[in-house]
Amino acid sequence: MDQPLNSTTSGEAPNPPASPKAAGDIERVTPMMAQYIEIKTANPGSLLFYRMGDFYELFLEDAEIAARALGIVLTKRGKHQGEDIPMCGVPVDRAEEYLHKLIAAGYRVAVCEQMEPPAEAKKRGPKSVVKRDVIRLVTPGTLTEDALLDARRENVLASLARVKGGAGEEGDGYVYALAFADISTGSFRVAETDSTRLSADLARIEPAELLVADAVYEDAELRPLWRSLPAVTPLPKESFDGATAGRRIAGFFQVATLDSFGVFSRAELAAAGAIVAYIERTQLGARPPLGRPQREASSEAMIIDPATRANLEILRTTTGERSGSLWAAVDRTVTSAGARLLARRLAEPLTDPKRIADRFDAVECLADETGLRAQLRDRLAGVPDLARALSRVALGRAGPRDLAAIGRGLLEGTAIAGLIADAPAPAELTRAAAALTGVDPALAATLTAALADELPLNRRDGGFIRAGYQGELDATRALRDESRRVVAALERRYVEETGVRALKIRHNAVLGYFVEVSQQNADRLREPPFDAVFMHRQTMAGAMRFTSTELAELEAKISSAGERALALEQILFDELVGAVMGQTEAIRACAEALAVIDVTAGLAKLAVDERHVRPEVDDGLDFRIEGGRHPVVEQALRRDGGPFVANECELSPPEGARAGRIWLVTGPNMAGKSTFLRQNALIAILAQAGAFVPATFARIGVVDRLFSRVGATDDLARGRSTFMVEMVETAAILNQATERSLVILDEIGRGTATFDGLSIAWASLEHLHETNRCRGLFATHFHELTALSQRLSRLVNATVKVKEWEGEVIFLHEVVPGAADRSYGIQVAKLAGLPHAVVERARAVLTELESADRAAPTQRILDDLPLFAALNRAPPPAAPAAKADPVAAAVKDALAGIDPDEMTPREALEALYRLKAAAKGG
């Protein structure tokens, strides 16, 4: 066995390096280091895990990198090019732990294994090196081991292809396509995209690794996207060759043509071909059980941009944690595959009302059928991760426990299918039950009969085939086990014959079986007649070891029986793997069906436990929520013992209108505006994901795009201030929102000077109303904006109620029609603990500011400035005006706009100011 350079154990030790004789001479290296350098050179860009006995060793620069990343000791031994060779190593049996750390740190690893026993190398000569080769390239997107993966998250490998578009192409003249696969589960999808929605699609997919062509990687306009991804791998343009992609994909799936796969664009084929080529390269010939690529239509899912996903905390909070997200709040699944499917549904809500309704039917069925739901969840709780076990089997990385998991999963699937068959089930559950019965039941029976109850982790350990499964193996095991009893009997006889009660027969990997006695008893075995029986083997510090002819013969029998038994188990293991691989498609379909049933049962339990209702989802533009609640905040408040105040939201088009309403929400800080905005967006996501929603009633016309601009963050790495980020996100909304979109905006314009911010918010609100014509919620502290409801027909003022009591402000968290006249910022500052002197000084300053005439500028804008939509149209020619008293006309107009019965005292005061200004001709 070869050893690391700093090992003191003899074996395949490197030759001493020769000293340089003269400048320019090529220094000789040991055969082992020559082999290492050759393999390393063939795998650039990867750390090389070089197998040496029980360790993976790293040398030279790789060792320095790995030692820093893993926090392990860096040693130096031997010479290369006149300098010490840095090296470090990790134990083979803990390799997955270290691989996980390196992959998480952004490195790729080439795993180089010994391809023959050291004894074979010695036959070629004393200085021969054990043959080694890289068996796998480990990258973030190609992981399959449970220890390296999050069981409840997909691990997606994606590729982005870009091809020149034809005449009439929009945007930058390119057609883009994404292919994305999870080789740990077998899912494989492709979809076209474009430059305007590329970031949204990448945020939806969340690739662990993205493959791009070199030219695309260097594109200055796209480079900011790469910063938001955990790993981006540039590849030569040949990897994305659309002309050869079809043949490459057909070869991978072992078919003559892709005609049966469907119709794909050139860009989609290029993206899918790049993934296939990368998998073949990293898995070195092993073929994961990928499903055939499924094409997704661009309009199939709600588009949610990255900022909106972050603001709404759909799958993780702004700090990156799952706890506190929408996913965590609604997840009632009991399998890891179910949790992954639920996350995917939340990440890409549907836009097809028919498919959404099918999901609702399934959830409603299990919400009503309490007994069936409980039985299904009990069964599902015992279902292992079939898809990931199947992937490891296909890639040759499976152990006996993976085969047992498949067998157990298939048995549970059959039982679950029977439960559904006995109940009136809707289409989604019926389809899932049919998939559960697609696997030959003989496979599960075979796996159950063949595998023992207690299984080792690795096949090389043996002992995993059940006794009684094969006669030849049972006989070989009996010989092996009987021989062990013979060894014990021989030891007892030697003790009786020699009189040495401490005599033991022991075994190790170097000497095999040997007789061991203490130094005090060693002379006894050297005396006649025992000196003719026992032969000295080794002297230890406190013991001496001997062997005998009889013991050597027995060892040969034991060794032969043990090796034969292990070899037979390996043959049976391969036969079981072959049986599993013969039904790959059916097993993967079974795994997907189990996930669907788990998600459906979990959403049904959620609906019952949290009092969620079935929403109405159609192709209209309605958005009506009654008794709506925030699914995350409500659960948090319940844990703290507090109630959640439900609210209504009506964004449906007014009678006779062809576009939805926009609510302008005012009210003080901490009153719950942001919660109200977010809860309605989350209700839309849940509904279109196929889940019941936290409300007493909900009718939602399908939302094609969801936009949210909530909160304040900066992006210093890209040189963007908080206000700049706000404006970039607002620009994306105003440029892309449609009448089917739902827009959530909170505090637009608050990051700059007051009048700048008010102007931007004013113009943005007009644009949303007149140009985008979308449904929306627009929260603001610019109370001047409420006057816009006088001229924007679909703009509705709403406010969050508060109550003042003995100088304190009480937040009621109830959203009602109307407009707030104060922000209560000073009261909130007092609650936050600002010094008393600061609070009182702020009150005095506020009083002075409020005494100024602040309404007149707003009124002049309403009276004199045309609507945003009219600014782009040439004004009509002015007609000759009749001579009239301008002061009288101004007073008359001001009086016409006054309704004394509807005015608050403050509004009456402001009206008097306007009359005074009009009378003065101002």
Binding site, annotated residues for ATP:
667-674
Contact between 420 and 433 under an 8 Å Cβ cutoff? The reply is: yes
Contact between 624 and 586 under an 8 Å Cβ cutoff? The reply is: no
| 369-to-272, 362, 423, 529, 830 alpha-carbon distances in Å | 42, 11, 9, 84, 52
Q: Give the whole-angstrom CA distance, residue 166 versus residue 175.
A: 9
Q: 59: which 2 tokens?
A: 């040398």
Interaxial angle between packed helices 905-919 and 855-864, expressed in degrees from 0 to 180 and rounded to the nearest 10? 70
In 614-698, alpha helices (H) = 631-639, 673-689
In 27-148, alpha helices (H) = 31-42, 60-70, 95-104, 118-123
Burial class, 900, CB count within 10 angstroms (exposed 0-12 / middle 13-18 / buried 19+): exposed
Q: 41: which 2 tokens?
A: 């050179």
Q: 309: which 2 tokens?
A: 């996903």
Q: Give the whole-angstrom CA distance, residue 695 versus residue 697.
A: 5
Contact between 540 and 515 under an 8 Å Cβ cutoff? The reply is: no
- Give the list of residues 6+ apart from residue 619 with CB closer than 8 angstroms, or none: 353, 701, 702
* Binding site listing: 667-674
Q: Give the whole-angstrom CA distance, residue 572 versus residue 560.
A: 18
Strands (E), 780-839: 795-805, 808-817
Q: Give the whole-angstrom CA distance, residue 338 versus residue 345.
A: 11
3-class state of residue 224 by DSSP: helix
DSSP 817: E
- The torsion angles phi and psi of 113, rounded to 5 degrees, stand at -105, 160
- Give the list of residues 6+ apart from residue 825 with CB closer than 8 angstroms, or none: 668, 669
Q: Give the whole-angstrom CA distance, residue 627 versus residue 618.
A: 20
3-state secondary structure 850-896: HCCCCHHHHHHHHHHCCCHHHHHCCCCCCCCCCCCCHHHHHHHHHHH
Interaxial angle between packed helices 400-421 and 584-610, expressed in degrees from 0 to 180 and rounded to the nearest 10? 60
Expressed in angstroms, the distance from the first to the final Cα of the chain is: 99
- The torsion angles phi and psi of 619, rounded to 5 degrees, stand at -85, 5
DSSP string, 180-213: EEETTTTEEEEEEE-TTTHHHHHHHH--SEEEEE
Contact between 361 and 432 under an 8 Å Cβ cutoff? The reply is: no
Query: 232-235 and 512-518 as β-strands: parallel, antiparallel, unpaired?
Result: unpaired
Q: Give the whole-angstrom CA distance, residue 89 versus residue 39.
A: 17
- Give the list of residues 6+ apart from residue 153 with CB closer than 8 angstroms, or none: 339, 340, 343
Q: How far is CA 382 from the centre of its chain?
A: 24
3-class state of residue 185 by DSSP: coil
Q: How far is CA 751 from the centre of its chain?
A: 33
- Give the list of residues 6+ apart from residue 666 with CB closer than 8 angstroms, or none: 779, 780, 781, 783, 786, 797, 798, 799, 800, 819, 820
Closest CA to 57 of 83, 17, 15, 85: 85
3-class state of residue 506 by DSSP: strand
Amino acid letter, 327: W
CA angle 885, 887, 888 (to 5 degrees): 70
